[in-house]
Every structure is written in structure tokens, then in C-alpha cells.
Chain A
Amino acid sequence: MQMLADVTTPEIEDVEAIISAKDVSVFYGDKQALNNVNLDIPANQITSLIGPSGCGKSTFLRCLNRMNDTVFGCRVEGNITLDGQDIYAPEVDEVLLRARVGMVFQKPNPFPKSIYDNVAYGPRIHGLTRDKDELDEVVLTSLEKAGLLKEVKDRLNATGTGLSGGQQQRLCIARALAVQPDIILMDEPCSALDPIATARIEELIEELRENYTIIIVTHSMQQAARISQKTAFFHMGEIVEVGDTEQLFTNPRDDRTQGYITGRFG
């Protein structure tokens, strides 16, 4: 008889880690938010970070582009490398780092500027383009990649905040793409969106995977299951389990993971 899906030996693509976190601990003042977290993020894959509120998943995400530096009293210990380079080394320019490691937030937050200027903002401040034609090119390509160009090409000068929630989120993704990042961090990018807008973003994330590495924090188990190749489960500032998404959702190794994803966590 044919056995049921054999998930004990999942086909984990042997991909090199683009980001590697070793013994990362984060403190907000006296309070420890992350405790010795180790995680390798494989290139050109989608990695989901899941876990209950306050588990440290967003804190971890924000370590990856040094967003925590902006939080008063926040201290990061341990080692995080991007392509083998320590991102917390003194010589690292965190503005450049954040161009390589872009971020999309829970609530779409376009600038109160035109659609065009929203996308052009990054290339302008980083001086990525030589002239207007090149900038036009970057803006249009970024909007195209973010799946938004068709909908907005006739109103590039209209204000970004006038778009629908899903469109605004795609505009924010276009804005992140415009500075040619390698990695895109997403902190619950769909939580403010309806199912159709969510599906569009998920489809987009899958397409982007080809050229970018994506790390996404999500409260939706089904979203993690649908889009990611790798899932890490955080609990109380630690990674309880990390593995192939299919395996984690069919046969988790740790009881705490099982309890959380099946909705038994008290």
C-alpha cells in the first residue's frame, strides 16, 4: 500500500546561507527579548518567522538591517553576517546596509508624495541613477516588479496615499526594490489587507523569490505554510524549531511547535 506523504526526509534544497545569525541576544534595557538565537537564512528562498506575540520574531527581523539601532536602550549581542560580513562591524554604514536589506512593514506607509516620488526617493538619496531617464527606468521597473505598474502607469503623479491598502503595500515593495536590495524583510505585510490583496502580495513574494531573499514575519500560519520554504518558530525569545516548512507543518519535532501551530498553545 502507498504510504501517506513521507515527510521524514524532506527535500531541503541545499542552498548557501546569505545571512547567518550566531548566538544573537537582544536586550531592551534590562529586558532580554532574544536569547542566543542561531539561524541561517538561505539565499533566494522565503523564510517565515512565526510565533506568539512577544516571542522575539520581529525583534530578530529588525536585527537583520539594524533597525534596532534606532531603538533607545536596545543592545544586540552575538554575530550576524551578510555574505560573510559582520553587519554590526563599526565600519558598516547602516544606511547602505538598509538599502541592501530592505523592509516592508505591517501597515503600508507610503510617503505623502506622488507614486513616482515614493519609488524614486531611495535611488535619489543613494545617488543610484545618473539622470532623469535612468531614474524613470528604475521607477518603472520597480513598479513593474512589484506588480503595480499596470494599475498606476497613467497616474504616476497622483499621491501614493490615495491608493488602496493592497496597492499601497505594493508601492512600498516597489520603493524597497528601487534601491536594488538583496534581501527584503517583511513584518506582517498582509495583516492590514483583505484576502484578495493578500493573495496578490503572496503571489508577488513568490515571484520576487527568484531574485531576492525574503524573510517574513507572519501571524498567519497558513500564510507561512503557503509561501515559505523554511519556517522558524520563535517562543519566549528563542528559536524552538526551524526547518523545512512542509515538515514543520505536517510533522513538527517539538511539542511546543505542535501546540502553537495547531492552536493548543495556552
Chain B
Amino acid sequence: MNGTGHIVTSFDTDLTEVRKTIIEMGGLAESQLEAAIRALVERDSELAQQTIEGDAAVDALEHKLDNLAVKMLALRNPVADDLRLVISALKIASLLERVADYAANLAKRVIALNKAPIVRPVSTIPRMGEMVRHMIHDALTAYSKQDVDLAYDVWRRDKEVDELYNSMFRELLTYMMEDPRSITSCTHLIFMAKNIERIGDHMTNIAEILIYQVKGHGPEEKRPKGDETSTTMITSDELGVGQGADSK
């Protein structure tokens, strides 16, 4: 029954291949993010370049997964948990592909940043990056173990990333107001922070899909949301306050 194999064993082989491909994609996406952050911290343009080039491998895996899933839908007519697994894999693969795109974009911006002097708040980005890398790692562990509790844990964690992003956003606005010469670098940093924050969102999505895959329905709670930057305004009056609070 559930958990035991199919009578047609090649069906199991296909399902295992789907799972393996997702985990492989996730592993690659995670190391792509890790490399992009390291390239930022170490101001390593060569590593950044490698990261940009590494994106193709994730794209190739997504392509492989898509083909496999379409083949299974056409030839095996999966139902119930098998159907949920195949459909979830299709969705998760496209999210992981986006994650790798964001990592490649981070790497591109590292190369741009390295052409300018160092900007102070760069340390918050690695912190956010590490937090989100952890989310990817745990989302994949949850996926491979079908662990709904861990998926919920990842799902809830996105709020912390959003909060860090909010403070980072304010901090960078403050820097730019203080010193217009930092605008180019700070803008890149804002985009980088936004990319990382988006990766966090995608992990939330993956957690939701996994919960659906295992339980047959999505999370019962409302998704925690914390990104307030879309409505954030900073006036020059706040300038002193923002600077004091955020420069640690």
C-alpha cells in the first residue's frame, strides 16, 4: 500500500528519478547561492563568473524534470499521491530554476560592485543569504523526507528574512541619502537583498507545495508576511534615527 512499491516497478524507478532530480536541482541551487554570497564577501569576481556559468546546469535539470514529468503524465496516468508528486515536482522545479537565476543575478552584481569601493552594510546581505540558504537546505530535507513539520518550519521562517530585508532596505536608503556617491553600489545591494528575499519566498512556496503533496491540501494557517518595503518611505527627518538604529 502507501509506502510500498508499485506492482509495475518501472513506475517506481520513474518516481525515484523525479525525486532525485528535484533534490539534485535543490542542492545545485543552494550551492549557487552560497557561492554568490561568498563571491560578494570575498570580492571574488572569478567565483562570481563561475556562479553565473553554473546556472546552465540547473536549467538543464529543470528541462530534464519537465520531460520526465510530461512523460509520466502521458504514459502512466498517475493518480492520488503519485499525481501530487509529479505535479508538485513540476512546480518545485520551476521555483528552483528561479532560485538559481537569482543566484546568478547576485553574482553579476558582485562583479559590478567589485568595480567600486567597499560599501559598509554589505554584512547584512551575507546574513540574509545564510538564513535563506538554510531555508533551501531545510526545504530540500523536508522534501526528501516528506517531513511536513520541517516544511511548516521553513514556511514560518520566511518572516524573519522579510524583517531583515526591511531593516536592510531602510539602512541602504539612509546610506544613499547620506552619500550620493554610494547610490550605484547601494542600488545593487538593494537588488541583491531583494533577490535573496525572493528566494526566501520561493522556499515558502516549495514548503506549501510539499505540504500539499504529502497531505493533499495546502497549509491551514495564513501565510506569514513581513516584507514592508513596498510601502516604506524615509524622510530626511528620519535620517539620524535610521542611521543610529541600524549601523551595528
A-side residues, CB < 8 A to B, are 1, 3-4, 6-8, 221-222, 225, 249-252, 255-259, 261-266
Q: Given the complex of chains A and B, what is the CA–CA distance between A259 and B82 in angstroms?
A: 10
Most buried by B among A249, A251, A265: A251
Which residue on chain B has the smallest CB distance to residue A225? B79
Given contacts A1-B208, A265-B1, 6 further A-B contacts (CB under 8 A): A3-B218, A4-B212, A7-B217, A258-B2, A259-B4, A263-B8
Residues of chain B within 8 A of A222, CB atoms compared: 77
A4 contacts B80, C-beta separation under 8 Å: no
Which residue on chain B has the smallest CB distance to residue A252? B80
Cβ-defined partner of A251 (8 Å) among B2, B6, B205, B217: B217
Q: Quote the shortest CB–CB distance from B16 to chain A (angstroms).
A: 14
Residues of chain B within 8 A of A261, CB atoms compared: 79-80
The digit string for B1-40, where 1 denotes a CB below 8 A from any CB of A, is 1101111100100000000000000000000000000000
Q: How many A-B residue pairs have CB under 8 A?
A: 70
B1 contacts A258, C-beta separation under 8 Å: yes
Residues of chain B within 8 A of A225, CB atoms compared: 79
Cβ-defined partner of A266 (8 Å) among B4, B91, B205, B208: B4
Most buried by B among A1, A3, A256: A1
Residues of chain A within 8 A of B78, CB atoms compared: 262
Q: Given the complex of chains A and B, what is the CA–CA distance between A250 and B81 in angstroms?
A: 7
Residues of chain B within 8 A of A1, CB atoms compared: 204-205, 208
Name 9 A/B residue pairs within 8 A (Cβ), A-sorted: A1-B208, A4-B84, A6-B217, A250-B84, A250-B216, A251-B84, A257-B80, A258-B80, A263-B11
Residues of chain A within 8 A of B204, CB atoms compared: 1
Residues of chain A within 8 A of B6, CB atoms compared: 262-264
Q: Does B45 contact A (CB under 8 A)?
A: no
Q: Quote the shortest CB–CB distance from B104 to chain A (angstroms).
A: 22
Q: Quote the shortest CB–CB distance from A221 to chain B (angstroms).
A: 7
Q: List the 4 shortest-distance A-B pairs measured between CB atoms, nearest first.
A: A251-B216, A259-B1, A8-B217, A3-B218
Q: Given the complex of chains A and B, what is the CA–CA distance between A249 and B84 in angstroms?
A: 10
Q: Quote the shortest CB–CB distance from B2 to chain A (angstroms).
A: 5
Q: Does B51 contact A (CB under 8 A)?
A: no
Q: Does B87 contact A (CB under 8 A)?
A: yes
Cβ-defined partner of A250 (8 Å) among B5, B80, B205: B80
Residues of chain A within 8 A of B79, CB atoms compared: 221, 225, 249-250, 261-262
A250 contacts B1, C-beta separation under 8 Å: no
Q: Given the complex of chains A and B, what is the CA–CA distance between A221 and B25 in angstroms?
A: 33
Q: Quote the shortest CB–CB distance from B225 to chain A (angstroms).
A: 12
B2 contacts A259, C-beta separation under 8 Å: yes
Q: Does B209 contact A (CB under 8 A)?
A: yes
Q: Given the complex of chains A and B, what is the CA–CA distance between A256 and B4 in angstroms?
A: 12
Q: Given the complex of chains A and B, what is the CA–CA distance between A56 and B4 in angstroms?
A: 25
Q: Given the complex of chains A and B, what is the CA–CA distance between A265 and B11 in angstroms?
A: 14
Residues of chain B within 8 A of A266, CB atoms compared: 1, 4, 7
Q: Given the complex of chains A and B, what is the CA–CA distance between A11 and B4 in angstroms?
A: 32
Q: Does B174 contact A (CB under 8 A)?
A: no
A264 contacts B212, C-beta separation under 8 Å: no
Q: Given the complex of chains A and B, what is the CA–CA distance between A266 and B218 in angstroms?
A: 30
Q: Quote the shortest CB–CB distance from B180 to chain A (angstroms).
A: 38
Q: Does B83 contact A (CB under 8 A)?
A: yes
Q: Given the complex of chains A and B, what is the CA–CA distance between A221 and B76 in angstroms?
A: 12
Q: Given the complex of chains A and B, what is the CA–CA distance between A250 and B208 in angstroms?
A: 17
Q: Does B88 contact A (CB under 8 A)?
A: yes
Most buried by B among A7, A249, A262, A265: A262
Residues of chain B within 8 A of A259, CB atoms compared: 1-2, 4
Q: Quote the shortest CB–CB distance from A225 to chain B (angstroms).
A: 7
A7 contacts B77, C-beta separation under 8 Å: no
Q: Given the complex of chains A and B, what is the CA–CA distance between A250 and B78 in angstroms?
A: 9
B88 contacts A264, C-beta separation under 8 Å: no
Q: Given the complex of chains A and B, what is the CA–CA distance between A261 and B84 in angstroms?
A: 13
A255 contacts B80, C-beta separation under 8 Å: no
The digit string for B66-97, where 1 denotes a CB below 8 A from any CB of A, is 00000000000111111110011001000000
Q: Given the complex of chains A and B, what is the CA–CA distance between A221 and B11 in angstroms?
A: 16
Q: Given the complex of chains A and B, what is the CA–CA distance between A262 and B204 in angstroms?
A: 29
Residues of chain A within 8 A of B208, CB atoms compared: 1, 3
B2 contacts A263, C-beta separation under 8 Å: no
Which residue on chain B has the smallest CB distance to residue A5? B87
Q: Given the complex of chains A and B, what is the CA–CA distance between A222 and B209 in angstroms?
A: 25
Residues of chain B within 8 A of A252, CB atoms compared: 80
Residues of chain A within 8 A of B7, CB atoms compared: 263-266
Q: Quote the shortest CB–CB distance from A35 to chain B (angstroms).
A: 20
Which residue on chain A has the smallest CB distance to residue B204? A1
Q: Given the complex of chains A and B, what is the CA–CA distance between A67 and B79 in angstroms?
A: 33
The digit string for B196-213, where 1 denotes a CB below 8 A from any CB of A, is 000000001100110010
